[in-house]
Amino acid sequence: MSRNRPFTPKVLTANLLRDGDVVYYTESDRWSLNLADAEVLEDEAHAQMRLVEADDPAVVVGVYLADVIRTDSGIAPAHFREDFRAAGPTNYDHGKAHGQRPGSEV
Amino acid sequence: MYHYSDFDRDFLAERNAQFRAQVERRLDGSLTEDEFKPLRLMNGVYLQLHAYMLRVAIPYGTLSSDQMRVLAELAERWDKGYGHFTTRQNIQYNWPKLTDIPDMLDRLSDVGLHAIQTSGNTIRNVTADHFAGAAGDEVADPRPVAELLRQWSTDHPEFQFLPRKFKIAVTGSVNDRAVTRAHDIGLLLKEQDGVVGVEVIIGGGLGRTPMIGKTVREFLPLDDLLPYCEAIVSVYNRLGRRDNKYKARIKITVHENGIDTMRDLIEARFAEVKPLFSGVDRQMLAGIEAQFARPDFVANTPAPILDPVLQSFVDTNVTAHRRDDHAIVTISIKKHGETPGDATTAQMNLMADLADAHAYGELRISHEQNVILPHVRRDALPELFAALKSAGLGTANVGLASDIIACPGMDYCALATARSIPVAQGIATRIDELKIEHEVGHLKIKISGCINACGHHHVGHIGILGLDRAGVENYQITLGGDHTQTTVIGERAGPGFAYDQVVPAIERLIFAYLDVRQSADETFIDTFRRLGAAPFKAALYPQEKQDAA
């Protein structure tokens, strides 16, 4: 990460090992199917520490930090790729994230 | 059709047992993800955006009805009730759980299917003309050759870690329906003095650096096919660049070394390896050929078609068979507004049943993401069409503007830079609203969601490439591509279009074509060849035209 750029808000995301679901890391050290449950990381040092803490290879695959933006209704992905990961594909209304209630931790 | 031998069955059972154990070891922590990833990829298991994806090979696009039913069963038991037919004659399941995949592979093996070498830097599923064995213009059925190549390349010890993936396509017709010139090796079966041989083409490919393959041997005796292919891949394995992923395909090797140097190296290697082939390959080919005997065709006398709706379907979706009383029926998996290539469990089961009832139990999958019944009795066409229509499979659009190839794009694919599927859906829906596609006629629109070009956009009459431009989906349009025996890489028309501007842009292109064509018989591509890109660019960028005035 460039030291010249100001740190922008991020969340930790990955796929579950067993079934591949997109998940987000919460403040309570659990993985949630919902982006809204994610812990928003505002500081680079803290984000790097949480990245290490979250990376449990028995539970998840490919943990990384994804940019988010704050909106009136909460947080939203900063990039459209993360939009699709959070909401599921746009050709069917059956993404695994669809219909999940807030707080559905796994 | 080829039927697995005891050797094939034992090999697959052992391989599946190995993978089951590998999954268990990953889940219990004995294997790290870095150790496990290459193992799962060797068995066709990707981790995509939302879930794992299992890619199952359909060798040379040929399926029995029983195999199709098992593909349907997998979609129902372990996925979300559908499968996605791809541009490489594979089927992909977008939602399997890792823990279920060993069971899926075991079920596939019951009917002689697998996912081996559908990923990784190996020789991938060998593809072929989807009308193989049925087409009237066929010199020789390409499937026995493709099956021989499949057996040779599967688990080939020297070719499991090539510089990059390696794709082979085979056709036995002068009308190339297998896009052979865009493959690492393209094989064209041809006849010379009554003897069938092979024109061997190497170094074709799409992707980041599209190139049309070059002929390395004009007429190779069929007996030399395996040692010659072994020589090609062996030379590539040695020369192919491993320092740069984007320069690792054989097309770059051919480009950098030149076709003449490559030919010399291949011929020299061929001379070395040929004596090592004891002739067992030729015996095997003879045995395989015997398994591809044509069905016992039932003579029939079809009644004249009086129903105009059926006639419309026949006009677009039916191709001449080698026998006058039979037909090749292409089932469009492109109903307007639906996802190209997606078939539900019910649809797959129905197509299997119809294959049994009317087509001697055979089906094919095309690289254009449609399903083919290769041998349909002509007297069964009315009944067949009625059944297809009732299941949403009767769309009469094959070869028309809504018969669009589209890769999964960013709706599913981890490599994608933009979406493809909704662009295809949007274009097809708009074309249907305008009711113009039968007037427009033959038009190939192909869409890729990234530079890897799985949607073959380079060889579309109209190609669409989705990119990420500064965090926004943006679509480049190419014009004049051709996927047939007269392969052409399309030329980029100009600046890209925003997501919501693509459908209007394509609509303008189509109307521009209707305005400038000489007659209804002049196709889009013929018009483009006559006039060049200018009138089409003017339609795409009307503002620039005004500015220039």
Contacts of B510 (CB under 8 A, 6+ apart): B401, B431, B436, B440, B443, B524
Q: Would the CB atoms of A15 and B51 count as touching at under 8 Å?
A: yes
Q: Would the CB atoms of A94 and B80 count as touching at under 8 Å?
A: yes
Encode B506-545: b = buried (16+ Cβ within 10 Å), e = exposed.
bbbbbebbeebbeeeeebbbebbeeeebebbbebbbeeee
Element (H, E) at B168: strand B168-171
Question: Pick from B379, B376, B374, B347: which is nearest to B363 by CA?
Answer: B374
Rounded Cα distance between B90 and B137, Å, is 25
The predicted structure's pLDDT at residue A100: 47
Rounded Cα distance between B326 and B296, Å, is 12
Whether the per-residue pLDDT at A102 is higher than 80: the answer is: no
Element (H, E) at B17: helix B6-27
Residue A106 confidence class, pLDDT cut points 50, 70, 90: low
The predicted structure's pLDDT at residue A4: 73
Residue A104 confidence class, pLDDT cut points 50, 70, 90: low
Considering only the top CATH level, what class is B6-110? Answer: alpha beta
* Residue range(s) occupied by CATH 3.30.413.10 in chain B: 142-290, 405-548
Whether the per-residue pLDDT at A101 is higher than 70: the answer is: no
Q: Would the CB atoms of A18 and B473 count as touching at under 8 Å?
A: no
Distance between B50 CA and the closest CA of chain A, angstroms: 6
Q: Does B98 touch chain A (CB under 8 A)?
A: yes
Q: Does B419 touch chain A (CB under 8 A)?
A: yes
Q: Does B422 touch chain A (CB under 8 A)?
A: yes
**B97 closest CB neighbour out of A18, A62, A94:** A18
**A57 closest CB neighbour out of B33, B422, B473:** B33
Distance between B39 CA and the closest CA of chain A, angstroms: 15
Q: Does A88 touch chain B (CB under 8 A)?
A: yes
DSSP-derived letter for residue B488 is B
ipTM of predicted assembly, 2 dp:
0.92
Chain B, 330 to 349: residues with Cβ < 8 Å from chain A are: 339
Residue A97 confidence class, pLDDT cut points 50, 70, 90: very low
Given a contact cutoff of 8 angstroms between Cβ atoms, the answer to whether B143 and B41 are in contact is no
Chain B residue numbers touching A17 (CB-CB < 8 A): 26-27, 33, 98
**A91 closest CB neighbour out of B26, B49, B425:** B425
Q: Would the CB atoms of A21 and B80 count as touching at under 8 Å?
A: no
The predicted structure's pLDDT at residue B546: 58
Rounded Cα distance between B167 and B183, Å, is 6
Q: How many residues does chain B have?
A: 549
Residue A46 confidence class, pLDDT cut points 50, 70, 90: very high
Rounded Cα distance between B411 and B415, Å, is 11
Q: Would the CB atoms of A62 and B51 count as touching at under 8 Å?
A: no
The predicted structure's pLDDT at residue A103: 43
Full DSSP string of A18-84:
TT--EEEE-TTS-EES-GGGSPPB--HHHHHHHHHHH--TTTEEEEEEEEEEEETTEEEESSHHHHH
Q: Would the CB atoms of B410 and A81 count as touching at under 8 Å?
A: yes
Chain B residue numbers touching A84 (CB-CB < 8 A): 49-50, 410-411, 419
Whether the per-residue pLDDT at A3 is higher than 90: the answer is: no
Q: Would the CB atoms of B412 and A61 count as touching at under 8 Å?
A: no
SS3 sequence of B56-101:
EECHHHEEEHHHHHHHHHHHHHHCCCEEEECCCCEEEECCCCHHHH
What CATH number was assigned to the domain covering residues B142-290?
3.30.413.10
What CATH number was assigned to the domain covering residues B405-548?
3.30.413.10
Mutate to test the interface with A, among B22, B47, B50 (most CBs of A within 10 A): B50
**B50 closest CB neighbour out of A22, A79, A91:** A22
Chain B residue numbers touching A92 (CB-CB < 8 A): 80, 339
Q: Does B259 touch chain A (CB under 8 A)?
A: no
Q: Does B412 touch chain A (CB under 8 A)?
A: yes
Distance between A22 CA and the closest CA of chain B, angstroms: 6
The predicted structure's pLDDT at residue A5: 83
Given a contact cutoff of 8 angstroms between Cβ atoms, the answer to whether B319 and B330 are in contact is yes
- Specify burial of residue B296 (Cβ count, 10 A radius: 0-12, 13-18, 19+): exposed
Q: Does B30 touch chain A (CB under 8 A)?
A: no
Chain A residue numbers touching B29 (CB-CB < 8 A): 57-58
**Is it true that domain B308-390 has CATH number 3.30.70.3340?**
yes
Chain B, 197 to 256: residues with Cβ < 8 Å from chain A are: none
* Residue range(s) occupied by CATH 3.30.70.3340 in chain B: 308-390
Q: Does B52 touch chain A (CB under 8 A)?
A: yes
Q: Scan for tokens 């790290």, then name that residue.
A: B32
Q: Does B24 touch chain A (CB under 8 A)?
A: no
Pairing mode, strands B497-498 and B491-492: unpaired
What's the average pLDDT block by block, 10 residues per block, for chain B (549 residues)?
A: 93 97 98 97 96 97 98 98 97 97 98 96 97 96 97 95 97 96 98 96 97 98 96 98 96 98 98 93 92 95 95 97 97 98 98 97 98 98 98 97 98 97 98 97 98 97 97 98 96 98 98 98 98 98 69
